[in-house]
């Protein structure tokens, strides 16, 4: 009797949450799998039928998908590397007790607080060829007006710049938190052993920060992979398809061309590729740090 009552209580407590989870997460997930196995275009509801893996085969033969993949990495890799280097550098600078640093810390985190759409609109004004502030500064040194978003490479560079501006503070925040949690004893020991500042950074700080950097890298990687808002506002994927990233391409298929089945198939391909990439990254970065912390403990 007691067990029965206990089971009933469990059901009452867990049931609603399970139902909500099922309806908001699992059902759409299953539905999108079903969609990816059909040829459903919203403009042709009567032509909807089961087509098996056709959409996935179509994706593999789609040159624009491969182009979008290349474009994604052309924007992702430089953004990620520069954000990490700058983020770690700034965090090291901020990790000291000095006057005014608190205010500076607060200021440097501001870009992270701004909504991506607002960031896009703000930078669209700054990149404006005729009255943008960037070209104004360039004109002060006698340089001509730059058409920031008009040409493929420059448009990519402009997007990278915006991402660095907005997301470096995130890396700073994480690394700074990591730095402040490092054990002071290790530094004391290094100083006793006569280590230089560079040696301390190279052999103490960075290895101990490795798991923290891995987390920052993972978050930034995921965020860059699905980056959409700023690209949509600034370039819309153009000029041509120069800034058409994977998420932009999937959006176009689903929302502009209303080809929801193909968009679902592309999303699943994208999801699997992202999981593989991030899992690999976690393995690469996490393993040595565990050995390190193990060694440190002994």
SS (H, E, C) 118-144: HHHHHHHHHCCCCCCHHHHHHHHCCCC
Minimum CB–partner distance for residue 278 and other proteins (Å): 29
| CB nearer to other proteins: pick between 89 and 239 | 239
Minimum CB–partner distance for residue 254 and other proteins (Å): 7
Minimum CB–partner distance for residue 155 and other proteins (Å): 8
| CB nearer to other proteins: pick between 207 and 239 | 239
**In angstroms, what CA-CA distances link 263 with 108, 266, 276, 279?**
38, 5, 20, 24
According to CB under 8 A, which one of 130, 196, 291, 298 is a site residue for other proteins? 130
Beta bridge partners of 38: 50
| CB nearer to other proteins: pick between 60 and 284 | 60
| CB nearer to other proteins: pick between 240 and 296 | 240
Phi, psi angles (nearest 5°) of residue 241: -120, 25
Query: Which residues inside 15-54 make contact with other proteins, applying CB under 8 A?
Result: 42-46
DSSP 205: I
213 closest CA partner among 165, 181, 174, 187: 174
Minimum CB–partner distance for residue 68 and other proteins (Å): 12
| CB nearer to other proteins: pick between 134 and 269 | 134
Query: Which residues inside 255-274 make contact with other proteins, applying CB under 8 A?
Result: 255-258
Q: Which stretch binds other proteins (CB under 8 A): 7-15, 91-99, 142-150, 219-227?
A: 142-150
Minimum CB–partner distance for residue 151 and other proteins (Å): 6
Phi, psi angles (nearest 5°) of residue 178: -65, -45
Under rule CB under 8 A, residue 115 binds other proteins: no
| CB nearer to other proteins: pick between 148 and 170 | 148
Phi, psi angles (nearest 5°) of residue 50: -75, 130
| CB nearer to other proteins: pick between 15 and 44 | 44
- Token digits of residue 16: 């609603």
Judged by CB under 8 A, the number of residues near other proteins is 31
Under rule CB under 8 A, residue 201 binds other proteins: no
- Which positions from 232 to 251 touch other proteins by CB under 8 A, shown as an x/- string? x--xxxxxxxx---------
Residue with tokens 């990816």: 36
**In angstroms, what CA-CA distances link 163 with 49, 171, 174, 231, 274?**
41, 12, 17, 10, 19
| CB nearer to other proteins: pick between 47 and 183 | 47
Minimum CB–partner distance for residue 298 and other proteins (Å): 57
Q: Are 109 and 190 in contact (CB under 8 A)?
A: no
Q: CA 236 to CA 233: how far, in whole Å?
A: 6
- Token digits of residue 18: 């399970």
229 closest CA partner among 134, 108, 123: 123
Minimum CB–partner distance for residue 229 and other proteins (Å): 11
- Token digits of residue 253: 């298929």
> Residues interacting with other proteins, by CB under 8 A?
42-46, 127-130, 145, 147-152, 232, 235-242, 252, 254-258
């Amino acid at each position: 009797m007691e067990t029965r009552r206990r089971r009933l209580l469990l059901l009452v407590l867990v049931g609603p949450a399970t139902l909500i989870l099922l309806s908001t997460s699992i059902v759409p997930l299953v539905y999108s799998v079903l969609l990816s196995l059909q040829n459903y275009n919203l403009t042709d509801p009567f032509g909807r039928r089961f087509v098996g893996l056709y959409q996935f085969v179509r994706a593999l033969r789609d040159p624009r998908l491969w182009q979008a993949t290349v474009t994604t990495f052309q924007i992702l890799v430089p953004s990620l590397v520069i954000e990490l280097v700058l983020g770690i550098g700034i965090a090291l600078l901020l990790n000291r007790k000095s006057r005014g640093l608190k205010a500076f810390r607060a200021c440097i985190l501001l870009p992270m607080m701004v909504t991506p759409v607002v960031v896009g609109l703000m930078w669209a004004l700054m990149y404006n060829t005729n009255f943008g502030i960037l070209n104004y500064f360039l004109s002060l040194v006698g340089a001509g007006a730059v058409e920031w978003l008009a040409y493929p490479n420059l448009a990519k560079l402009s997007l990278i710049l915006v991402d660095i501006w907005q997301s470096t503070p995130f890396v700073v925040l994480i690394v700074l938190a990591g730095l402040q949690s490092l054990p002071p004893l290790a530094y004391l020991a290094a100083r006793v052993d006569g280590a230089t500042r560079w040696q301390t950074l190279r052999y103490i700080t960075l290895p101990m920060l490795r798991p923290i950097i891995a987390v920052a890298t993972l978050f930034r990687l995921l965020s860059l992979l699905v980056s959409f808002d700023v690209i949509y506002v600034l370039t819309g994927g153009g000029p041509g398809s120069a800034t058409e990233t994977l998420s932009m391409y999937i959006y176009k298929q689903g929302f502009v061309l209303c080809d929801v089945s193909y968009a679902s198939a592309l999303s699943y391909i994208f999801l699997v590729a992202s999981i593989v990439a991030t899992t690999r990254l976690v393995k690469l970065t996490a393993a040595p740090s565990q050995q390190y912390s193990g060694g440190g403990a002994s």
